[in-house]
Structure 1
């Protein structure tokens, strides 16, 4: 959430007008831009998980005035991710950034100036209910040694991997470690999620680092949203049809 206006953050001096600045930062994903506030924070507390909202997430949008305004005023925005001091916007690839960028900057500037909350107090509970239990990630019970390995993985992601990904307008969530297979389950968000190089980042970047420092790690698997799973299955079907026709 944006910090509410206060004397310590935004001094109210008679006759003084506060000029706010929102800058854009390119990401490895040409369909994603990172909008950074240099004057205030988007979330009330640093370190909270970034939240991703798609333009089809009606329940989440109802609990995010910021998302509602961006989706309403900036046609062509497919999703956004709210971080500590930035918002990453993913566009429809058929829409040019010139049609979106200024509108997003205007919305963010207005929110920073007003001190309004970007998310309602109920947002996180609604978000948790919407995300729900992921059937693709089993719940693990660890021995003391296995718990130590899981903690090491989570700490490495938090201190070495997550900051680099957030610099590129994305985020990453640790979803668990399978001690039997050595599989680490991760969830990519924001710019990294739909980037064409996300698989390279996952396998050659994240997986390589985890395997280097923690010998028990054998593989890293990305968790997909239900919509992404359906799209992937349809793509695999199309590939199979094309392969069958070529024979």
Structure 2
């Protein structure tokens, strides 16, 4: 007889029902409604419960997201009993279509950054060609993934670039408690073919234009040199740390360079030191101008 273990998550609307053994083999499933759950008789049965919003099946667990009409503490034991009864009577969790295209497993791992509030989740595949930052859920129209991630109470800011997602958390939470849940969610989302970023939408977004230097040829020579230095020598280093740096402007009278820090670089305790002792000194040396000042502005 199979016995299920009930586990809460950091998202109060989602709860996990864990099995003693794996119930899928290198496959993850997400069902938003009963029609999507045609290959999962168990998920279809769960959708008859009026409070079930989404069913996730992965590894050794089934996770269910609820609508707000109930609290989990009132119904979780009954749901676990229903799942146990179904499985112990020989019910199928997932019916695998042998002719269906195989999903490509995705590896996602967490990587620390110099900013203790930011963790970098790295995938083994390219997920976007455009760097983009989201400060809140209202900005996430270009990124369905970012919108989903802001559903977690501990997610404060998101930065997405190339093959990684940098997530900044609120100080109230500890990475030890939330990293596994975030990593599993991102892995499942990408494997299921979810849209990480709508590149066309981003291109039409006025806020994103700042990130693309479209007027390079019309800039003064010094500004062009600064941009080239930042792109070649600085950006690769900050990207490796889960962040990004953007050229904003150069004031020839004040010799002041303004840049925008994103992702792990934004709010990092060491960012001031990096700006002054690293980037500023580099520009002074490479441009042979000891009066240059580098200043970070809010993105």
TM above 0.5, yes or no, is: yes
Query: Do structure 1's residue 52 and structure 2's residue 133 form an aligned pair?
Result: yes
Separation in 1 of the partners of 2:150 and 2:235?
Answer: 27
Match of 1:93 in 2: 171
Instruction: Return closer, same or farther for 1:204/1:36 CA change in 2, 3 Å cut-off.
Output: same
Instruction: Extract unaligned runs of 5+ from structure 2.
Output: 1-98
1:61 to 130, 135, 140: 140
Question: Of the candidates 213, 234, 242, which is equivalent to residue 169 of structure 1?
Answer: 242
Normalized per residue, the structure richer in strand is: 2
Kept in 2, the 8 Å contact 1:173–1:186? The answer is yes
SS at match of 1:159: helix
Counterpart of 1:219 in structure 2 is 293
The reply to whether residue 42 of structure 1 matches residue 123 of structure 2 is no
* Structure of greater Rg: 2
Are 1:29 and 2:115 an aligned pair?
yes
User: How do 1:87-126 and structure 2 match up within 5 A?
Assistant: 87-120=165-198, 121-126=200-205
Q: CA separation of 1:98/1:152 partners in 2, compared to 1, >3 Å: closer, same or farther? A: same
How far apart are residue 194 of structure 1 and its match?
1.0
Indicate the structure whose relative CO is greater, using CA pairs within 8 Å and at least 6 residues apart: 1
Q: Given the two structures, how large is their TM-score scaled by the length of structure 2? A: 0.60
Structure 1: gaps spanning 5 or more residues: 1-12, 133-140, 226-247
Name the structure where helix makes up a greater proportion of residues.
1
Tell whether the 8 Å contact from 1:69 to 1:107 is kept in structure 2 after alignment.
no
- TM-score normalised over the length of structure 1: 0.71
Number of positions where the alignment pairs a residue of Structure 1 with one of Structure 2: 197
User: C-alpha distance in 2, partners of 1:122/1:142?
Assistant: 23
How far does residue 64 in structure 1 lie from its aligned partner after superposition? 1.7
